[in-house]
Structure 1
């Protein structure tokens, strides 16, 4: 196909019905005024001018060369857009998105068909907008997203409190505190900046007032009613990311409307993600848009319903550039056949079903509260120690149940399930179950994990205290995985009552008794499939290169102060100082995050995340410093935050937040 020339409209103002002016960057195929084209729309708070420009410039020029316009719009209060953001995926945000889709479809250069796309926030809201059925929206591509905002996002997971909730609140505080670019807004930039600084919310406060799966989380969760989505959806994720469940859940819920692609990747677009192999995302996306926005019969709709990369006996490492494995396709996804295991009295994992009462053996487990430092982060941006590392350290504080050496390869695809009867002497406790591949040399690779707050064992909306002195049946569905356990390896099930710092501890640390005779563990078999190939991108280095003034740096460390009986998990992220060669804007972000806990005191837990964000041009410099904190008492979450802003080294603004929020079965 002949590539079309195109023009980049660096900033286009779009005025909403309420008068708010939003800022858009548009990649426009030349000649679209005479030969209208379809458009792909992305709607984010991550700042098109400096936050997402790298990935935008790896994707939208390719679309435009294929005759598809790209429209990247900053949500209100972000980048150069007017106003102040009002939260995540709010009714106002989604209504604005529908209005923007109608605006795009009405332009003289548009053929009236719009697609919506994005990763993470943009992956979330394109599915949510699809459920609202704006007439011009014909298809979506959703990457690293969720259909269940309560259980499959960075806030809560099966009733447990994810530490990523503080991390993300700190991130959003930093992003929303940053200045517009005066080159685009002119003299209004400082007035707009001060309005944001004064009025931006501290998201953590709202999130913590909804600790149950209530209407707040049901809003925007398309899993509440998959039938609301009527357009085709390509749903993509990576096994190394926290959003790995969504592609399979989407095809289960959306049926023939959905296609799933799951690779080995972290939280990145597939054409530049790690670990490799990558996928030709832009090529597939163009075919997808041409099929659904142009009506081109190109065969993209005949792809297998599920394509997945099966990881083949991978080894955890400080960095994973390439993961061994193979691609499979399933023309139609069906619930997998499960391979069942039980635990005998010797803590061996035995194929077969549990036999209640076969042995009278309860096992009490109370993990040190710093068990979990090998977990990595909930969503991963780099293929280094943000991913789970060797599990032997965490397994030392866990109940370990292990199978015999495998006599043949075992391939799995889907969600493992653990069911068992437990008891504890408190109204709540956390459990973490991990599926681990044990290599012949003892190296332990985490394949999947699941967590549960026992008070949420029967309902996330109406948690109930554990019956003290009585046993209760619990079920933990682990995250989806695609994996080959090799001949000569062992399958390990590791169970702990802590998984810090990924999940925050309950107010007491009672430990849990497990009825071993009741324990049943099931692995989803890969089942019928075809070996397939997934094309890799033609360009092995699709991201543009900016001018480097200071290098990036990253560091994660765990420190255990034996004298003070305290463990610390520290994160240092420095993006380096880079200048965009086209607009001259140079930016740098520094993140310092520290989690601390005493291994025997759940109320000692603290977390603090500080972001320093710089923007500069010759004769112009602004900085914001944002800090978010969390601590706890037996009855409350204690949160606070502050934002300071500087212009040319002089402080011009300071604001603080502080709140005590009752714990609600957490």
Structure 2
């Protein structure tokens, strides 16, 4: 590197003379079939460089997560593309952290970088660690506190481990040496220049290489992958980046794409086209491939959201007692009456709603399409349910909830969870979202709320593709915590992680004619028209 730091790499090359296109992985972690991939591609005419990130494994320097990777990635590409056995063309690849490194350097414009193959990466690290202003606590405490210089990797705790409940949160951080990066993440609890420096959100016009993104409906980086796909397609710095970028979305959680049949063959076709000029037809295939849950089938699409989408409003309503699945909350096409009574619950940070189902990055015992019935028995969870569907209903695309709320707190969070209620009563998690109310207008300039005042709040439940079967019901939950996937909002308005003080919050959800809280579903007509 220009500063004298040397990065270590394992290099696989074809057993033949000549110049070959190169593939590069800039990795914070080893394993995960990386060496098998090196052998696979070397046998098919590619040089492969598995490069350890600065300060990791055999590389020199100090590891600071993410911060040095754009520059190091760029200089590694410049070195690799100029080797005597290189054709000068490079493709990158990676999974998770290593996916982010596969395109972090792309805006710097190495002339050697021709294509990217990234599985489950992010657009910005703020979007990864703070979803709409709310800290993803399990990522911070499992990855951030335990992954350090050398070869240490994250440590997974049970979701009910007292480690997560420590307050102030910064005291838990202080128990671990050499984690200044985590303290920085706490310090930068809004989207600012710290995150922009090594993210790509504002840099798509500088990226000329097309990317193939792969994610899953239950991946904690699903939303970030769709953001990247849209950014490349709409703002990419070349026609190849705009028209050539693709995305594949399966029914798996984070890391589950490793089990996708023919993954290496797909990756090979991508490289063969962009790095060897082989006309194998991958450029003519639709840019989107999604797994439609419920129908249990793969389908190709050409735009996102789908052009045939009918965005459909389902209104929250009740007689003022939507608390739990045993309450009177309804979800229907008709908005509430002028005098429809509001729903109320008490959010107590000392008694949070625990994560069950969804896109948490770890914990196979709770992530994915889990049955939510135990959560829906709580009085601090508002539950709104449709009647049985007359026929199958496909929902494919971005899902949003518009809430009218008031709180006794100056700062709090609201959560939203969509589930598929089967005829036997199972309530299977489909997608979820959360938003900090101080981030209701901006992720860069949060503003407190006035206790008791009614506000409007949009919550993104990210994206999904699901066919709700005939006879099933659609259910929406509203509450204020999803712990430990997300840090508990302590309802105080004090800086994140700085205090042990917690306050209960009196939460009110309005759904009368003047405050029509509603869910927006991207419904796909069954006739395709």
**With structure 2 as the length reference, what TM-score do the two structures score?**
0.83
- Taking the aligned partners of 2:41 and 2:27, their CA distance within structure 1 comes to 19
Contact 1:161 1:503 in 2 (8 A): yes
Find 1:93's aligned residue among 59, 69, 77: 69
The structure whose RCO (Cα within 8 Å, separation 6+) is larger is 2
Q: Does 1:430 align with 2:413?
A: yes
Q: Does 1:460 align with 2:443?
A: yes
Structure 1 pair 376/491, CA: closer, same or farther in 2 (3 Å)?
closer
Find 1:366's aligned residue among 328, 331, 346: 346
SS at match of 1:411: strand
Contact 1:236 1:261 in 2 (8 A): yes
Deviation of the 1:426 alpha carbon: 1.2
Find 2:519's aligned residue among 518, 521, 524: 521
Larger Rg: 1
Partner of 1:401: 384
* Deviation sequence 1:389-408 (CA, Å, 0-9, x none): 31111122210000010111
- RMSD between aligned residues: 2.3
Q: How does 1:475-494 map to 2 (within 5 A)?
A: 475-494=458-477
Structure 1 pair 106/200, CA: closer, same or farther in 2 (3 Å)?
farther
- Taking the aligned partners of 1:411 and 1:467, their CA distance within structure 2 comes to 39
Contact 1:119 1:269 in 2 (8 A): no
* Deviation sequence 1:314-360 (CA, Å, 0-9, x none): xxxxxxxxxx71111112334543121112334211025x36x6333
- Taking the aligned partners of 1:485 and 1:130, their CA distance within structure 2 comes to 40
- Taking the aligned partners of 1:209 and 1:133, their CA distance within structure 2 comes to 31
- Taking the aligned partners of 1:529 and 1:96, their CA distance within structure 2 comes to 51
The structure in which a higher percent of residues are strand is: 1
Q: How does 1:211-360 map to 2 (within 5 A)?
A: 211-255=189-233, 256-268=243-255, 270=257, 272-273=258-259, 278-312=260-294, 325-334=296-305, 336-346=309-319, 347-351=329-333, 354=335, 358-360=338-340
Partner of 1:53: 31
Structure 1 pair 473/389, CA: closer, same or farther in 2 (3 Å)?
same
Q: Does 1:19 align with 2:19?
A: no
Partner of 2:360: 378
Partner of 2:173: none
Partner of 2:240: none
SS at match of 1:171: coil
* Deviation sequence 1:230-289 (CA, Å, 0-9, x none): 11110110122211123432332222241010011222263x43xxxx231111111111
Partner of 1:130: 106
Structure 1 pair 434/225, CA: closer, same or farther in 2 (3 Å)?
same
Q: Does 1:501 align with 2:484?
A: yes
Q: Does 1:391 align with 2:362?
A: no
Contact 1:266 1:381 in 2 (8 A): no
Contact 2:419 2:431 in 1 (8 A): yes
Partner of 1:143: 119
SS at match of 2:8: strand
Deviation of the 1:126 alpha carbon: 1.8
Partner of 1:412: 395
- Taking the aligned partners of 1:262 and 1:381, their CA distance within structure 2 comes to 20
SS at match of 1:53: coil
SS at match of 1:370: coil
Structure 1: state its 5+ residue gaps. 1-15, 47-51, 179-197, 313-323, 531-666
* Deviation sequence 1:176-208 (CA, Å, 0-9, x none): 559xxxxxxxxxxxxxxxxxxx99544211111
Greater displacement, 371-380 / 456-465: 371-380
